[in-house]
Each structure stands twice: as structure tokens, then as C-alpha cells.
Amino acid sequence: MMNLIVVPNFKTGGSERILKMYVDYCKLNSINYDLVFISSYGNNNFWKGYKYKIISDTNYLGYFFLPFFLFNKKYNISFTSNIYLNSILSILRKCKIFDVNKILIRESTNYYKRFKGFQLLKYSFFHKIGYKYSDTVIFQTNEMKSYFDKNLQLLNPLKIVLPNPIEKDKIKSMSELQTDIIDKEYFICLGRLIYDKGFDILINAYSKCESLPDLYIFGSGIEYNNLKKLITNNKLSNKIFIKDEIINPFPLIKSAKGCILPSRNEGFPNVLNEMILLNKNILSTKCVEDISKMSWILTCEPNDENSMITMLKKLNSNFQLTTIQETKRSNYIKNLSYSSYFDKFKTIQ
């Protein structure tokens, strides 16, 4: 019996990377699957070489036609990581539009920490109407699960915590490929250009530091023009560069003098695990409780420019990890296997 993976569109983020890993896992283990996109919105370079189906050209029509696409189909496992799809697929099975043995849904962010007001009401509505009809909700951290449980008293479904995996061998192999090379010292950031990623704090902090390497930010999003304006206003146009997201950032992560994650809020940033795998010089905000426990990276307070300034200077100081920190980092990396992550899907009831 086939598995089902449903993705909103071609926009790429941490959730899409996890879903793509699951497709790779299915291919590696000869598991048949349907990879379905609600709409064709966005750039499909990230999914180049993969076989998939597109329901519609637009999101609204895609969601409208989703029940017709699924009608009378049967699957073993469905896996999604988008709150709307998580809820809608669970409801569609409850209404017997389609049949699936296990609905596994992954929470993409900590909604009850990140959002307020109308946005939180909207997301809470989708949690309440659909999640109770799923089989398992997968949280990235204990903190995320705790916020969920405090705000929603759902007896069903099963709720488990699985830290985000990465494709270690694939990433290491890709990091050895020849790509665009930056022939000077630099710091690097990657992520969607949105408010929660905190790039504005990093840019302002950069303007108050001297002798830092150039900063390269790879990503796209609605804050692009605001960030470009902020760079210009701080007279950093020759120091900070915003580039489009790239398919293979790993050689640049590996070669960077330092990697920075300036987020205000995250579920858990997948890119941080990729940075930890390839580079020892990392600065991250404590945007997730678990990051505070990572003694092998530099950390600063989220949404705190002064804290960022202090740690930027340390990141630039060629600091060295202690033997204990090196050991903890190595042990952490060993536990990031994506195969063992998805192997657990077989035993989840």
C-alpha cells in the first residue's frame, strides 16, 4: 500500500526539507508513495528530479479539489507538516473521503509561543477541529509539546517528540561539491526573510561592530525590501549581502568563518543542525529552549541587539571548543540520522 506526502506548494522551508527526507526514505526502502502539491506556487528547483502531482495552479483551488483527488484512495501512512493540511486530511478521513491506516502530522512551529490575537485564534481553530481525528502529532521539542498541551486539552491523538533529523551523508557529500566560492572570510545566514527570523536585529548589531567579516544572507521572503533598506540606512551595502536561496548551500556553510541563526522564534531550526554538522563556529539565539543546552555553540538572547553584539565579537575571535564540548557536539551529531527518525513511523500506533 502506498504512503501519502502532501505539501502546500513549492515554497521551501524547514518543513519541506523534512518532507523531502521522507520521500528519500521511501525511495531508499522501496516504499511506494504519492507526493502531492496543493498548488504550483513558488520555484520547484528544490524538488527537481522528483516525481509529483500538482492539484491546481492556485492554493485556494488546490484545497477545494483536494477531496476530489483523494476520493476513494487508500494509503498506509499519510505525512504532512502544515497546520491546514494536518487538520484537513484528518477531517477528510473522518468523513470517509479517503482511507489511510495512520495519519502522522508534524507541528511546524510553536504556534502558542509565536502568535497572538487573530492569527492564534485561526491556528487554534484548525488544531481543535482536525487534530483529534489524526493518529499521531509529532513535535520537534518538549517545549513545543508543552505549549500545545497547556492550550489544548486533546485526549487524542498520540503526542510524541522527535527532534529534527538531517541527511548527514548527503549533506557532507554535497558540501564537497564545487559551487560559487566566496574568496574571503565571511559569516553566513540562511532562512526565509520574515520578521520571526530576526535578520533586522543582526543587521542593526552588525552596524555597531567593527572589523567583522562580510555577512551573506541567503533567502527570500516578504521582508526583503525592508532588510535591503535597513542595510542601506546603516551604510552596510558593501558589508552585508542578501542573496537568493540556493539549492546547495553546504559548501558555503562549511567554508564560512561563522554561521549565525538570529531568529526570534522557531519550532526548531533545521538549518542549525546542518550548520552544526559542517561548521564548529556557530552563533544562535536561544529561540528554542533546547538551544540553551547546546554548550558547543555560542548563544545569545533572542530579540536582543546588545546580546547579539557581544556574541558576534566572540564569534569573530577564533574561539576553540573544549574537549568536552567537542565530545558533546559529536554525540549530538550521531543522533541526527533521518533513517532512524522515519524508522519510528513503523512502530507508532
CA gap 296, 289 in Å, rounded: 15
pLDDT tens track for 29-46: 999 999 999 999 988 889
pLDDT at 15 over 90: yes
**What is the dihedral angle through the alpha carbons of 158, 108, 37, 28, rounded to the nearest 10 degrees?**
-70
- Give the pLDDT band (50/70/90) at residue 319: confident
Q: Where are the alpha helices (H) located in the chain, listed in sequence order?
A: 14-28, 59-70, 83-94, 111-114, 117-130, 142-151, 168-175, 199-206, 224-233, 250-255, 270-278, 305-315, 323-334, 338-343
Instruction: Give phi and psi for 213, each to the nearest 5.
Output: -65, 170
pTM here is: 0.86
CATH class of 170-334: alpha beta
User: How many CA atoms within 13 Å lie on the side-chain side of 188?
Assistant: 29
Eight-class DSSP state of 337: B
**What pLDDT score does 349 carry?**
64
259 pLDDT band, cuts 50/70/90, is: very high
Distances (CA, A) of 229 to 151, 190, 248: 38, 19, 27
Is residue 201 predicted with pLDDT exceeding 90?
yes
What average pLDDT does range 34-63 have in this prediction?
94
> Cell 513535535 appears where?
139
Q: Which residues does residue 261 pair with via DSSP β-bridges, in sequence order?
A: 284
Closest Cα partner for 135 from 105, 114, 106? 105
d(CA 289, CA 273): 15
Which residue type sits at 196?
D
pLDDT digits (tens, 9 = 90+) for 104-162: 999 999 999 999 999 999 999 999 999 999 999 999 999 999 999 999 887 778 999 99
Confidence at residue 282, expressed as pLDDT on a 0 to 100 scale: 98
Task: Give the pLDDT score at 245.
Answer: 87
pLDDT at 247: 85
Say which amino acid occupies 102.
Answer: K
CA atoms within 13 A on the CB side of 50: 24
The CA angle 289-197-160, to the nearest 5 degrees, is 40
On whether the CB atoms of residues 216 and 179 are closer than 8 A, the answer is no
pLDDT attached to residue 181: 77
What are the residue boundaries of the structural domains of the chain, listed by start?
3-162, 170-334
Backbone angles phi, psi at 194, to 5 degrees: -130, 165
Residues 6+ away with beta carbon under 8 Å from 304? 201, 285
pLDDT at 156: 78
**Residue 41 has which C-alpha cell?**
506556487
Listed in sequence order, the residues at least 6 apart from 308 whose beta carbon sits closer than 8 Å to its beta carbon are 201, 202, 205, 262, 285, 300
Strand-pair category, 33-39 with 53-56? parallel
User: Measuring CA to CA, which residue among 145, 63, 136, 64 is closest to residue 100?
Assistant: 136
Q: Architecture of domain 3-162 in CATH?
A: 3-Layer(aba) Sandwich (3.40)
CA distance 24 to 3: 13
SS3 196: helix
Each residue's pLDDT tens digit, 68-106: 999 999 999 999 999 999 999 999 999 999 999 999 999
Among residues of the chain, what percentage have pLDDT more than 90? Answer: 88
Mean of the pLDDT values across residues 261-269? 93
Task: Tell me if domain 3-162 and domain 170-334 are identical in fold.
Answer: yes
Cβ atoms within 10 Å of 235's Cβ, excluding its own? 9
pLDDT above 80: residue 200: yes
Are 175 and 246 in contact by the 8 Å Cβ rule? The answer is: no
The mean pLDDT of the chain is 95
CA-nearest of 108, 315, 287 to 205 is 315
C-alpha span between 244 and 192 (Å, rounded): 10
What percent of the chain is modeled with pLDDT above 70?
100
